[in-house]
Structure formats: C-alpha cells, structure tokens
Amino acid sequence: MGVAGSGKTTIGRQLATDLGWPFFEADDFHSAANRRKMSRGIPLDDDDRAPWLTALRTQIDVCLATGRNAVLVCSALKEKYRQTLMKGTRGVLLVHLSGDLATIQARIARRKGHFMKAGMLQGQFEILEPPANALVLDVRNSPAAIIAEIKRQFTL
C-alpha cells in the first residue's frame, strides 16, 4: 500500500515474480467511470471507491478460499479501506511503501500515460492514515532492497 508513485506496482510485480505468485494491480479493478474521473484530475470519493474495494476484497477472499498466495497492490490510504480489505482475514500481510511528498512528486513527474495525475498526489498525502500494523519501508531504497526486506520480514 501507499500513495501513487510509491512503487507499489514495481515492487509488487517483481515480488510476485520472485515468489511465483499471481500479481493483482488494484488499478485494474477500477470502473471505467473511476478511470475517466481520475484522468480528468478529479479525486475519487468514498462512494466511488466502495465498489472498487468490494471487488478487491472479493479477489482476496477467492485467494484465501483456494489457498492461493498472491500479491495485491493497492493504495489503501485510509484505515477504513484497509478494514474492508483485511477484516477477518488470516495470513494477509500489509506493506506500506512510505516516502515524502517531494520524492514521490519527482517520480510521478517522470511517469507517462498513467491516469493518476501529479496534482492529485497532495490530496493522497492529506488523506493518508499510516497503518499501525504494517511493515513500513522507505521508497528511497532500491526496489531490490525493498523486496529483500519484505521477504526477510515475512520469511517468504
């Protein structure tokens, strides 16, 4: 989890590849209406996010029910979002890719073709509720170092 530009997709995709697990990108679960809204620089509200979070939780439940490990990357900025995603689950581990606004703004400025616009980042930092029960890793570290630490911490 983390704000846009924190490296969730890069880290998650490589971790999933390393572990031989399926990879799920939460952005792929957004409705077309949500994508259009974000492409116009309009932040999503909780009503926009509700069906998205439900779809993500369904994917988590399918993985748990089938005994299949997976990596799912999602912003999950608020505690209530994380509760929707994780309440009552066992074996779901949370990693927060954390960084400062300036570092992440610079990353987003270099991205091309993503629907998340740099101007929306400040709003993400404003609503971010850092999790109390997560492995917190600094995005200034290399992807390889972050992945190694995730594996070490969770003995994967």
26 contacts 72 by C-beta, under 8 angstroms: yes
**108's tokens:** 């987003």
**15's tokens:** 């971790």
6 contacts 54 by C-beta, under 8 angstroms: no
Each residue's pLDDT tens digit, 120-143: 788 899 999 999 999 999 999 999
- When pLDDT is cut at 50, 70 and 90, the band that residue 118 belongs to is low
**Per-position b or e across 48-68, b if 16+ CB within 10 A of its CB:** bbeebbeebeebbeebbeeee
Question: Residue 151 region, left (φ>0) first, then alpha (ψ -120 to 50), else beta?
Answer: alpha
Average the pLDDT over 84-107 and give the result: 94
Closest CA to 6 of 89, 155, 130, 153: 130
137 contacts 150 by C-beta, under 8 angstroms: yes
pLDDT at 109: 78
82 contacts 94 by C-beta, under 8 angstroms: yes
Q: Is the model's pLDDT at 100 over the cut of 90? A: yes
Task: Tell me how far apart the alpha carbons of residues 121 and 90 are, in angstroms, rounded to a whole number.
Answer: 31
User: Above pLDDT 90, what percent of the chain?
Assistant: 78
Average the pLDDT over 23-28 and give the result: 96
Average the pLDDT over 51-61 and give the result: 97
Q: Is the model's pLDDT at 155 over the cut of 70? A: yes
Q: HSE-up of 43 (CA within 13 Å, CB side)? A: 15
**5's tokens:** 């530009």
pLDDT at 117: 52
Query: Mean pLDDT in the chain?
Result: 92
